[in-house]
Chains A and B, each alone.
Chain A
């Protein structure tokens, strides 16, 4: 299968994983990720993908198996969502601390309670400190392309860190759109087979996934942090290589849209970014200097890029689909730490709530009027009034 197809984000991502030729997949199905697991198990069954597909009984086991496979030195994939990600949370730092370059797709979905299967970003944003690289796709083409690039970046010897690719549940996983499927020979050219001397080898035994007491622990964490910071350069390298082979160019840890001279900027991530760009276009046509900064990677955090793009703006707002209850959205909190530009926070799209262009225009209106704080889209009462 190659060429121009009409596919869902899940279908596109599964094809991207197939093109990356993982040797082991262990996964447990959960809405809205299920289609990825189904497609890959069909490919394993019909022989189009030469892979050991391990059917496990839970997400905790899915990632535990993936850690074991990655420790054996083979390319390894898993996928999850929402409660599944939380159930494997214990294993996330095992994978990152052990420097196992597993790739995981996470279909962003609300976390219970209230129980809800729809999309928001509460699941992955609750795991920013887990030591995983985190990328957020905005469309199915980028999802497929990240499936290929994620293995290149995770397995890069300067990085050797697991990589979580996030697709907005339903808005990306279940939306059909035009996707260009690369030829598999080009995919092979981009992504050679994974080779490492860090894997289990009976002829050269080594200690893996070990304990480290107070005398050494910080040194390991420091090295892990340093490797994560090297991801920025490796992303640049991977994207240049990708553009050379496939002709599609990506923009590193962030994607700036008309931010250069913008007075008002929305900072956001994932599938809602396109709607924000349409709204910025509409405002530009009315003479308002609006811009959009899309965060493509939350880890490593693009602090330098955000600080640069927001510099000079009169006000900016972070629009995100999560709330760290009792404070603000996680993306806002991190963004506020790198910019002096007046910053407000909009929590929207929780539990799959539809975000309309009118909502985005209202955020820009608030920015122009100097309104700040943490606001929930679609909820009129203000927290400070309610708490009196």
Chain B
């Protein structure tokens, strides 16, 4: 099982990204299962929130929150305090962050005239995830977004993915980021 913890602020599209990731993974065939859910509660724009995605090659029974994520994704760099104690941490930041992989998702979003960093962060995460092929990520995004928003978001996904790929070998384990 691959468990992804998303951290963001209400309105940045963290839960939407969590859903896209699950939809992307299951689009790869009948033997794939996923759960995606938000930290439950009243939706408040700007308030810190979490979302969760679980991916597995077998049906997933546990619906509880993720305690030991394989990947922790900060859509909002201001929420980041320290790398997760488990897995790889990915932070939306224009500057290097100790112990984390970074991507400047606000810049990529702006380049594509998008108000939210979620699809850029999804693209960056997809670069780290061997489980999901680029065309599956595209299907996941397309299954959630209305057609009029699709092209710009798919471009943001690709831009973030290519930016990370261009850096060479990408970490899969925490030890590869934090010696």
A residues neighboring B (CB under 8 Å): 4, 6, 32, 117-119, 169-172, 174-178, 271-275, 277-278, 352, 354-357
Contact = CB atoms under 8 A, between A and B. Distances in A.
B64 A357 contact: yes
The 10 A-B residue pairs with the shortest CB-CB distance in the complex, in nearest-first order: A274-B61, A170-B40, A175-B37, A6-B23, A176-B36, A275-B62, A354-B65, A171-B63, A278-B62, A177-B35
B63 A272 contact: yes
A272 B22 CA distance: 21
Nearest to A170: B40
B30 interface: yes
B168 interface: no
Contact of B38 (A174, A274, A277): A174
Contact of B62 (A4, A117, A357): A357
Given A271-B63, A354-B64, 13 more contacts: A6-B36, A171-B40, A175-B35, A176-B22, A176-B34, A176-B37, A178-B34, A274-B63, A275-B62, A275-B63, A277-B61, A356-B64, A357-B62
A249 to B, nearest CB: 15
Nearest to A272: B63
Contact of A4 (B26, B36, B60): B26
Given A6-B26, A176-B35, A177-B35, A274 B62 contact: yes
B40 A4 contact: no
B167 to A, nearest CB: 31
Contact of A176 (B19, B40, B61, B64): B19
A177 B34 contact: yes
Contacts of A171: 37, 40, 63
A358 to B, nearest CB: 9
Interface string B25-67: 0100010111111101110000000000000000011111101
Contacts of B35: 175-177
A344 to B, nearest CB: 21
Contacts of A175: 35-37, 63
Interface size class of B (residues with CB under 8 A): 20 to 34
B143 interface: yes
B19 A6 contact: yes
Given A6-B22, A356-B67, A170 B37 contact: yes
B121 to A, nearest CB: 18
B40 A119 contact: yes
A170 B39 CA distance: 9
Contacts of B42: 117
B65 A278 contact: no
B53 to A, nearest CB: 9
A6 B23 CA distance: 6
A117 B40 CA distance: 9
Contacts of A352: 40-41
Nearest to A355: B64
Contacts of A277: 61
17 contacts: A6-B22, A6-B26, A117-B42, A119-B40, A170-B37, A171-B40, A176-B36, A177-B22, A177-B33, A177-B34, A177-B36, A273-B61, A274-B60, A275-B61, A355-B64, A356-B64, A357-B64
A139 to B, nearest CB: 8
A177 B41 CA distance: 19
A32 B35 CA distance: 18
Name the residue among B19, B34, B38, B62 with the largest chain A CB count within 10 angstroms. Answer: B62
Contacts of B64: 275, 354-357
Contacts of A169: 40
B41 to A, nearest CB: 7
Contacts of A271: 63
Name the residue among B33, B40, B63, B143 with the largest chain A CB count within 10 angstroms. Answer: B63
A359 to B, nearest CB: 9
A75 to B, nearest CB: 31
Name the residue among B33, B40, B60, B67 with the largest chain A CB count within 10 angstroms. Answer: B40
B135 to A, nearest CB: 16
A174 B40 contact: yes
Contacts of B36: 6, 175-177
Nearest to A276: B61
A6 B40 contact: no
B26 A174 contact: no
A352 B36 CA distance: 17
B149 to A, nearest CB: 18
A170 B50 CA distance: 14
Nearest to B144: A6
Nearest to A168: B63
Contacts of B143: 6
Nearest to B62: A275
Contacts of B30: 4
Name the residue among B32, B61, B65 with the largest chain A CB count within 10 angstroms. Answer: B61
Contacts of A176: 19, 22-23, 34-37
A6 B32 CA distance: 11
Name the residue among A4, A6, A278 with the largest chain B CB count within 10 angstroms. Answer: A6
B58 to A, nearest CB: 11
